[in-house]
Amino acid sequence: MKKWGMDSYLYAPKDDYKHRAYWRDLYTVEEAEHLTGLITAARECGITFYYALSPGLDITYSSVKEVSALKRKLEQVSQFGCVAFALLFDDIEPEMSEADKEVFQSFAHAQVSVTNDIFQHLGQPKFLLCPTQYCATRAMPNVSSSEYLNTLGSKLAQEIDIMWTGPKVISRLLTVESVEEITEVLRRPPVIWDNLHANDYDQKRVFLGPYSGRSPDLIPKLRGVLTNPNCEYGANFIAIHTLAQWSRCNVDGKRDLSLNDTVSADIKLETETEDGLLGEDVPSTLSPNMYHPRHALKNAINDWLPEFNKKKAAWGVIAKPQPAVAPTIPIPILPSINTCMSLTTTTNTTVVAAPSATVTTVPTSNHLQALAEVCSNVTDSFAQPLPGPVMNSLVSDTKVISEAVIPPQIANAGGSTEPMDCNTTPTNSPAHTIKSPADDDAMVENASTGSGTSASMQVEITDGTSPTINGNHQMIVENDSENHENNDNLECDLGDIKDGDKRLTVEDLSLLCDLFYLPFEHGGQGIQLLQEFNWLKSNAHILVKKDTAQEQINKAD
């Protein structure tokens, strides 16, 4: 982050359940050591570490006891070395309790009162606030007339920065005009909390496209930009790298080509990308202060490619496969914590992270009732897998806590937890259903080729048969006495493949990014692929007719 020019990290992960659902609880000694290490590492790299707390689900703003609990929690974190904080009031019901209604004039006044009190109590540190109305579509009735936003602007301490996602939760475009409007209402420039690359609302998708839809003209009109990228850490290289490039520019390369001091106004634009595919016009060269998304993507890919050739330690839980009985009937898609069957979402652990939120469709009660009936019919038809692990990021990078250790409110939160919780998927979700042999084989292949390091599983061989896992043949069998020579040959072959044609290229990564581009658009190669499939679909009847006519001619002969 520091190498690329980033300067802040916002800590608001869902797998730290003391961040939101149990915000009152203090950290244990073990958790405190881990969080202290994180804060220290950020400070040593010159990164400001913001600790965010999200108490809005159930706080009573007028309660002295509740505010004291909030102060005590943030005081504890400040003792870990943290010097910057954030309060997040996103994705909560905009209604006050009866006790609060007797004290505060409005919901905004309640939040402002608590936030200002905490800000002063902590000694006026760097401070962020995420409002409940954090985008234009949630401003009631609109941005300029929102009583909530105007109250924040007039009553909140001027030193506190306010987060804003733009016109929508996930904004395709951020314009200068929209930023100027919210700046006037808030009486300060906003900090853009950008969900362009966020995928926690649909984790079947991943976004590898460049930072776009935001002109560098915005930079002097903002207090900063926080990106909330994909949940998968390794998928965020492009998102963060291109944002860093954008932050160093002051000219929009898609608009102001005539201002480029190294390219004349009548520059001939390339009509093809380097891979020969038709795409948007991309200038062949750009001055350092000019930003163009496709040019930034090219730079990021060039820097990303060497990462795939580095040997890295494997992280995560290594679990032995458990035997299970195959289901006798198709398993329905069950709603789970990660399937986003809710109206809103919550915060997420990210690099240069901001909390994320999106609007999704809520299934009807009839749909859920029918789904529940189907679920009850199939529950007993297959063996339930063992309880899945629940990660606690503050305990250890690799240590796993059994579900039984987690407080009951967390362990049973499949239907009632805050929306878009990204804790471990419940055992009745599709992620725990039995895979076909083909799926298992594919996973083994990916595991063996997708990492810079390799590991073999020790398999006990009995009765002279080949070892199997859930009925599938294991690819690598470790047997020192008999297969030593064969293993040497295998390692040589794998080495040849690594050093040969199987290495990833810039073109490979370019294709990958174009296929998994951005929420609102495909990359150039993705568009061409769709066009070709559409052509095949549109012209399939011609090929069918031709084959039929040829058959008739053959029969006549």
The confidence score (pLDDT) of residue 289 equals 86
Please check whether residue 236 lies inside any domain of the structure. yes
The confidence score (pLDDT) of residue 407 equals 47
Query: Which whole-number Å values give the CA distances from 336 to 57, 111, 391, in the listed order?
Result: 20, 32, 17
- Give the burial class of 488: count Cβ atoms within 10 A of its Cβ; 0-12 exposed, 13-18 middle, 19 or more buried: exposed
The pLDDT tens digits of the residues spanning 470-484 come to 334 333 333 444 444
Phi, psi of 251 (to 5 degrees): -130, 135
CA distance 196 to 228: 7
Candidates 177, 183, 127, 117; CA nearest to 153 is 183
Please check whether residue 248 lies inside any domain of the structure. yes
Instruction: Order the strands of the 48-53 sheet from edge to edge.
Output: 8-11, 48-53, 84-88, 126-130, 161-164, 191-194, 224-227
CA distance 503 to 308: 9
- Give the burial class of 465: count Cβ atoms within 10 A of its Cβ; 0-12 exposed, 13-18 middle, 19 or more buried: exposed
Please check whether residue 147 lies inside any domain of the structure. yes
CA distance 260 to 262: 5
Please check whether residue 34 lies inside any domain of the structure. yes
The pLDDT tens digits of the residues spanning 323-355 come to 554 544 444 433 333 323 223 333 333 344 333
CA distance 17 to 31: 12
Q: Where in 417-502 does DSSP place strands (E)?
A: 468-469, 472-473
CA atoms within 13 A on the CB side of 157: 18
pLDDT value at 224 more than 50:
yes
Please check whether residue 501 lies inside any domain of the structure. no
Asked if 227 and 354 touch (Cβ cutoff 8 Å), the reply is yes
Identify residue 344 by its one-letter amino acid code: T
284 confidence band (pLDDT: 50, 70, 90):
low
Mean pLDDT of the 230-235 span = 92
Q: 533: domain range?
A: 525-556
Alpha helix segments (H runs only) across 272-427 = 293-304, 365-378, 408-411
Lowest mean pLDDT among 145-154, 182-191, 385-394, 528-537: 385-394
SS3 letters across 503-546? CCCHHHHHHHHHHCCECCECCHHHHHHHHHHHHHHHHHHHHHHH
Peptide bond into 355 cis (omega under 30): no
Percentage of the residues of the chain whose pLDDT score is greater than 90: 51
The count of domains in the chain is 2
Query: Which whole-number Å values give the CA distances from 432 to 203, 388, 414, 425, 497, in the listed order?
Result: 16, 9, 14, 8, 33
Higher-confidence residue of 477 and 547: namely 547
- Beta-sheet pairing, 48-53 with 84-88: parallel
pLDDT value at 153 more than 70:
yes
CA atoms within 13 A on the CB side of 231: 20
Candidates 254, 185, 207, 198; CA nearest to 228 is 198
Give me the residue label for tokens 């609102």: 520
508 a catalytic residue: no
Please check whether residue 352 lies inside any domain of the structure. no
Q: Residue 217 belongs to a domain with what CATH number?
A: 3.20.20.80
pLDDT value at 469 more than 70:
no
Asked if 255 and 281 touch (Cβ cutoff 8 Å), the reply is no
**Residue 270 tokens, joined:** 């390339």
Per 3-state DSSP, the chain is made up of helix, strand and coil in percentages (nearest 5) of 40, 10, 50
CA distance 29 to 93: 33
Angle at 77 between CA 71 and CA 80, to 5 degrees: 145
pLDDT value at 170 more than 60:
yes
CA distance 296 to 292: 6
Identify residue 450 by its one-letter amino acid code: G
Identify residue 178 by its one-letter amino acid code: S
pLDDT value at 553 more than 50:
yes
For the chain, how far is it from start to end, CA to CA, in angstroms? 73
Identify residue 190 by its one-letter amino acid code: P
Please check whether residue 6 lies inside any domain of the structure. yes
The pLDDT tens digits of the residues spanning 374-419 come to 344 433 433 343 444 444 556 555 554 544 444 444 434 333 333 3
Mean pLDDT of the 157-181 span = 97
Q: Which residues contact 533 (CB under 8 A, 6 or more apart)?
A: none
Write down the catalytic residue from 91, 100, 421, 440: 91
Helix 293-304 with 237-247: angle, nearest 10 deg: 130
| The model's pTM | 0.66
CA atoms within 13 A on the CB side of 143: 20
The pLDDT tens digits of the residues spanning 410-463 come to 434 333 333 333 333 334 333 334 333 333 333 333 333 333 333 333 333 334
The confidence score (pLDDT) of residue 349 equals 37
Please check whether residue 54 lies inside any domain of the structure. yes
- Beta-sheet pairing, 472-473 with 468-469: antiparallel
